[in-house]
């Protein structure tokens, strides 16, 4: 564990460095409050700090206050042990109210310092464990437990965020729905466990065909939503066709053997003035068109004028027809 030492007196600083090093800690030493403040920035900064009260540039209590004021923007908690020759009760109160976690009066007993540092280390480690547990809960709340993709809530939240971003940056945004054809037959013929294998394999193939910043998640049984930032409709149709081929080009391996699956896709582009519901509804109608035209194909539905829409079939067909 790394500990920051902020002490302007060279002798006191060297004593602290020697003791901490002897006890197995890595030490980052600074000689004033401004240096200490800089050293405590960033995700890799020490999580335990020993601060002298009286220092040039910025004293210990002021440094404590600044760290606590910026707590919300920091990735971790910094445990602070304040060192001072001021031993009056009001000084203790002032230091703790400034944000210090512990307080030790000089001259200090090395064993007392060691015990207090160990207590601080336990708190830092518990805080890190709590933070990791909270992050894992957040991840689980956003993840489909079967496939590992984003779940319905998470992918819809991401779509909302991408709509807001596209509006701010005046960029294109496309979205599509992927639906596995005749998936009920897969479950009926091979069993639900084989169907689960197909869903997991589908997610793997789709992920391998998308860009790092594209968004993909499961929104229903065999139905998935894909969000394509900074992508016009022409690009979205190309991506959708790539996904269709990735899913259908070869049989999928299941514990019941190989299963061949195809997919239908409906894609659309954000108009720049609509909300999430109308965008998804239009993608869903494009998917319905793909199903109605025989499945295993891509259909695109776009708004041409207010109240008027057009359907563009899968890219290689190059057909455009009115949709009413």
Is 222 designated active site?
yes
Give 180's strand partners: 263
Q: How many CB atoms lie within 10 A of CB 94?
A: 17
Q: Is 203 exposed, middle or buried (0-12, 13-18, 19+ CB in 10 A)?
A: buried
Rounded CA gap, 219 and 226, in Å? 10
Taking the CA atoms of residue 226, residue 229, residue 230 and residue 235 in that order, the dihedral angle to the nearest 10 degrees is -10
- What are 247's two structure tokens? 């899913």
Cα dihedral 148→149→153→154 (10° resolution): 110
3-state secondary structure of 8: coil
Distance of alpha carbon 11 from alpha carbon 34, whole angstroms: 20
From 136, 222, 241, 316, active-site residue: 222
Q: Tell which residue, 314, 288, 283, 317, has the closest CA to residue 301.
A: 283
Catalytic residues: 222
């Amino acid at each position: 564990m790394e500990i920051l030492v902020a002490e302007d007196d060279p002798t006191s600083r060297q004593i602290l460095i020697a003791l901490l090093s002897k006890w197995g800690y890595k030490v980052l030493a600074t000689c004033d409050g401004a240096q200490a403040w800089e050293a405590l920035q960033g995700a890799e900064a020490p999580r335990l700090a020993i601060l002298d009260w009286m220092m040039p540039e910025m004293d210990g209590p002021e440094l404590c206050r600044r760290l606590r004021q910026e707590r919300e923007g920091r990735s971790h908690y910094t445990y602070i042990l304040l060192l001072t020759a001021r031993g009056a009760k009001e000084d203790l109160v002032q230091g703790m109210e400034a944000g210090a976690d512990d307080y030790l009066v000089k001259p200090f007993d090395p064993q007392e310092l060691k015990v207090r540092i160990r207590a601080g280390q336990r708190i830092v480690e518990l805080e890190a464990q709590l933070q990791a547990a909270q992050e894992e809960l957040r991840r689980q709340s956003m993840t489909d437990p079967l496939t590992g993709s984003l779940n319905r809530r998470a992918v819809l939240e991401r779509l909302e965020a991408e709509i807001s971003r596209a509006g701010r940056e005046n960029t294109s945004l496309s979205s599509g729905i992927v639906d596995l054809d005749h998936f009920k037959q897969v479950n009926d013929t091979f069993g639900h466990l084989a169907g689960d294998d197909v869903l997991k394999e589908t997610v793997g193939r789709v992920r391998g065909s998308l860009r790092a910043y594209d968004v993909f998640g499961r929104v229903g049984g065999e139905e998935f939503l894909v969000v394509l930032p900074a992508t016009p409709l022409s690009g979205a149709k190309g991506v959708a066709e790539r996904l269709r081929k990735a899913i259908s080009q070869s049989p999928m391996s299941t514990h019941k053997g190989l299963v061949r699956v195809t997919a239908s896709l409906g894609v659309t582009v954000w108009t720049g003035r609509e909300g999430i519901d109308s965008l998804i509804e239009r993608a869903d109608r494009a998917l319905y068109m793909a199903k109605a035209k025989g499945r295993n194909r891509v259909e695109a539905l776009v708004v041409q004028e207010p109240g008027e829409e057009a359907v563009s079939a899968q890219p290689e067909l190059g057909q455009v027809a009115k949709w009413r």
